[in-house]
């Protein structure tokens, strides 16, 4: 792909983003909102924010989850701002100081919660600050200002989600399936490398790479969980697979370490079995079927524990 070539998914995302912005602006003008630019900015931030983080078209789950967090953070911030205004409307300086303390508290909380949830707390802090600074000249308009802020944020988020649904939402499920297939092959290749008892640096590089891929799969599971409740069962299976993957890495490394002191622990039968290269999941399945037959023939006693389990 050349420097100036544009992929189809990039064009689709550009159309999706433009549609979200225009829809938010249209709805804002239709309901004659005071500041429809908030709806436009929200639609752009919710749609484009995950895209910058992902380096491409974001997944639908990320857009919806980010939108939900923005709604929650905005409502919390508006409620906090109204509470501070009601209690301290006669002391503007103290009101501003308390609002700054609230913003600092939200920032502190955002550093304690999960990274994907910190966005809501950060938004709650600066939303309250925006409202209190804006209404300094006309404090009696604070309730109306807070309601308009919430309404415009919701309009922007709904516009971003509608645009995503209209222009073929991108699901992460297919990416998860492909990564699982690749992970199975990589796990088997790691065991091959450990049984071969090759260079230790090569083994270290292989298992550390597998650990990173397993952690990345856990992040993909979080995105799948955000996408839809219909992936609940798949999410539970992926959570279990994360533990299984780490266990397989440990067993492969144990096989390598055992051979440092007892090279005879792995018989020639298993060395020949694992010597055959695998490239696809189908190859791994064929090899596992052969391995089951070999284990049934040799018995548990003559099979290394790390392979038998």
Residues 91-118 pLDDT 10s: 888 998 999 999 999 999 988 888 778 8
Among the residue ranges 8-12, 43-47, 118-122, 131-135, the one predicted with the least confidence is 8-12
pLDDT at 301: 66
Domain boundaries, the chain: 8-166, 173-308
pLDDT at 1: 46
pLDDT at 7: 66
Residue 240 in this model has a pLDDT that exceeds 90 = no
Q: What percent of the chain has pLDDT over 90?
A: 10
Give the angle subtended at the CA of 293 by the CAs of 289 and 297, to the nearest 5°.
Answer: 165
- The residue ranking higher by pLDDT, 52 or 192, is 192
Residue (of 205, 206, 243) closest to 221 by Cα position = 243
Cβ-in-10-Å burial (0-12, 13-18, 19+) of 214 comes to: buried
pLDDT at 220: 77
Task: Report CA-CA distances (Å) from 144 to 34, 123, 268.
Answer: 10, 19, 79
d(CA 148, CA 145): 5
pLDDT at 108: 93
Residue 5 in this model has a pLDDT that exceeds 70 = no
pLDDT at 101: 94
């Amino acid at each position: 792909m050349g420097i100036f070539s544009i992929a189809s998914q990039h064009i689709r995302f550009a159309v999706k983003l433009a549609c979200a912005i225009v829809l938010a602006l249209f709805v804002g003008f239709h309901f004659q909102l005071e500041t429809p630019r908030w709806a436009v900015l929200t639609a752009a931030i919710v749609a484009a924010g995950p895209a910058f983080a992902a380096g491409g078209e974001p997944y639908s789950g990320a857009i919806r989850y980010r939108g939900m967090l923005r709604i929650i953070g905005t409502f919390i911030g508006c409620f906090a701002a109204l509470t501070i205004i009601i209690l301290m409307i006669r002391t503007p300086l103290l009101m501003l100081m308390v609002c700054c303390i609230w913003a600092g508290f939200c920032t502190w909380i955002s550093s304690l919660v999960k990274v994907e949830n910190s966005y809501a707390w950060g938004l709650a802090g600066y939303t309250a600050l925006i409202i209190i600074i804006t209404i300094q000249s006309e404090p009696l308009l604070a309730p109306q200002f807070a309601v308009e802020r919430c309404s415009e944020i919701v309009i922007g988020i709904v516009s971003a989600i509608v645009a995503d649904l209209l222009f073929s939402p991108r699901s992460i499920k297919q990416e998860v399936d492909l990564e699982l297939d690749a992970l199975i092959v990589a796990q088997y290749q790691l065991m091959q490398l450990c049984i071969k008892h090759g260079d230790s640096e090569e083994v270290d590089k292989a298992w550390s790479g597998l650990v990173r891929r397993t952690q990345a799969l856990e992040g993909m599971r979080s995105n799948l969980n955000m996408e839809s409740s219909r992936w609940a069962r798949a999410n539970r299976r992926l959570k279990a697979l994360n533990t299984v993957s780490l266990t397989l890495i440990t067993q492969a490394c144990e096989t390598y370490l055992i051979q440092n002191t007892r090279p005879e622990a792995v018989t020639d039968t298993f060395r020949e079995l694992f010597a055959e290269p695998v490239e696809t999941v189908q190859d791994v399945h064929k090899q596992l079927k052969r391995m089951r037959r070999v284990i049934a023939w040799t018995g548990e006693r003559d099979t290394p524990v790390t392979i038998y389990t």
